[in-house]
Amino acid sequence: MDYKKEMLKSLQELVAIDSVKADPEEGAPFGKGARQALDYFLNLAKELGFETTNVDGYAGNVDFKGKTDELFGILAHLDVVPFGEGWTRNPLGELVGDTLYGRGTQDDKGPAIVILYALKELKDRGFVPNKTIRLIVGCDEESGWADIAYYTKKYKMPSIGFSPDADFPIINREKGIVHFTFSGDFPNSNISLEAGSRPNIVPNKAYLTLDGKHNFDGFECTFNNDKTVVFAEGISAHGSLPQEGDNAAHKLLKLLKEIDPSLSFYYDTFASIDGSGLNIKMSDEVSGNLTSNLGVINIKDGKFNAVVDIRYPVTKDFEEIKERINKIIDGKCVIADYYHQKPLYVPDNHPLIKNLLDAYEEVTGLKGYTVAIGGGTYSRALPVAVGFGPIFLDEEATIHQKDERVKISNLNKLYDVYIKAIINCTK
């Protein structure tokens, strides 16, 4: 049986659940919406005939029993980034022709639902995998992986698998990820600046408040109560690809530098996307250049706080990066906190890569190969894993952007690829 129609209906129902991280509640560590999405997914999996486990609202298991207890893992997530502004379609789902709009359609509700129905079709065919397939769905991938941290205290991760939360053909190199939180005193308590909601999103709006009445070319300025609010607009993008966005905070930090050269430190240090301002510009042949995204900044009442998302090459050393940054910021601010994920690298000759590439090539008719990304997927939570889809080469990636969307024809092709891939990896 082909489950593509049922798959689309279930995806629409899942996308209609707002699973942006919210305040924790009892049984819902990442908010009511994330718990609702998890419940929906696990109930659906149970209806389709699979064994399920709710891991205390942090994550869930869907098991397809095999001939052995050895696990092959597939890791997806049900939480999403905030909707943001500027949508022309309903972020909670709107079907227009061959396109489904909605937050999570590409990242990562769409792939999670496709995998679930691919497993159902295989089960109906009578396929019995040699390894038990465990589909793990988390609820905090976009905000710090507290779901994975909790999960690993309860369960041992599968030794091998993939995450449908990247690009095709195969992502086998993921840069190291660091979210550095900087704080310190700001020299002028009459100035405030605010931009960004998440480290891994390029801010598309920023606001600067100054005493007095001002007007600056290229900015929208509003005067009220003896203060001027300066508004800057940019273009949002994923924090791992700051070059694809236009950081609104950079524009206002540059304006501050022009207004008062004594404040140049903030623009010079934090407004470079290659890390040069922090003295960490670097690259390697395996994974490319380091990137830096000023994702959150808040200046208020003489205090400075900022969070910078850094993706560093797989062969570089985290401790060296931290040491270089400390030398640059010494005396101006401090690293108040940081969140770190080590890089991922699976060699091209690994059997997992061959099995997945064979499936990709058979279904698409295209030659497969491996690539590196700055993004981070659940793949790095397993000893050996790679990112495998869902974005096809000819597909527009709208992850973390307004009007996130997926073509139904691509969902159907994804279904066929994952069926073949699962067979290859577990037969």
List, for residues 340-390, the tens digit of each pLDDT value: 989 999 999 999 999 999 999 999 999 999 998 887 889 999 999 999 999
Place of tokens 């465990």: 134
Beta strands 390-391 and 166-167, pairing class:
parallel
> How many whole angstroms separate alpha carbon 399 and alpha carbon 80?
10
79 included as an active-site residue: yes
Q: What is the mean pLDDT of residues 276-284?
A: 97
Question: Residue 261: pLDDT band by 50, 70, 90 thresholds?
Answer: very high
Hey, where are the domains in the chain? Answer: 4-175+344-426, 177-340
**Nearest Cα residue to 164 out of 399, 377, 397:** 377
List, for residues 386-417, the tens digit of each pLDDT value: 999 999 999 999 998 999 999 999 999 999 99
pLDDT at residue number 373: 86
Q: What is the mean pLDDT of residues 1-13?
A: 94
pLDDT at residue number 375: 77
pLDDT at residue number 416: 97
Assigned CATH topology for domain 177-340: Alpha-Beta Plaits (3.30.70)
Catalytic residue among 18, 140, 141, 416: 141
Whether 52 and 135 have beta carbons less than 8 Å apart is answered as no
| CATH numeric code, 4-175+344-426 | 3.40.630.10
> How many whole angstroms separate alpha carbon 165 and alpha carbon 400?
12
pLDDT at 1 > cutoff 80 = no
pLDDT at 240 > cutoff 80 = yes
List, for residues 33-88, the tens digit of each pLDDT value: 999 999 999 999 999 999 999 999 999 999 999 999 999 999 999 999 999 999 99
Question: Residue 251: pLDDT band by 50, 70, 90 thresholds?
Answer: very high
Q: What is the mean pLDDT of residues 139-161?
A: 96
> How many whole angstroms separate alpha carbon 249 and alpha carbon 295?
9
pTM above threshold 0.75: yes
Cα distances (Å, whole numbers) of residue 369 to 11, 388, 400: 29, 11, 25
pLDDT at residue number 266: 98
- Tell me the average pLDDT of the chain: 96
194 included as an active-site residue: no
List, for residues 295-337, the tens digit of each pLDDT value: 999 999 999 999 999 999 999 999 999 999 999 998 899 999 9
Q: How many CA atoms lie within 13 A of 427 on its CB side?
A: 11
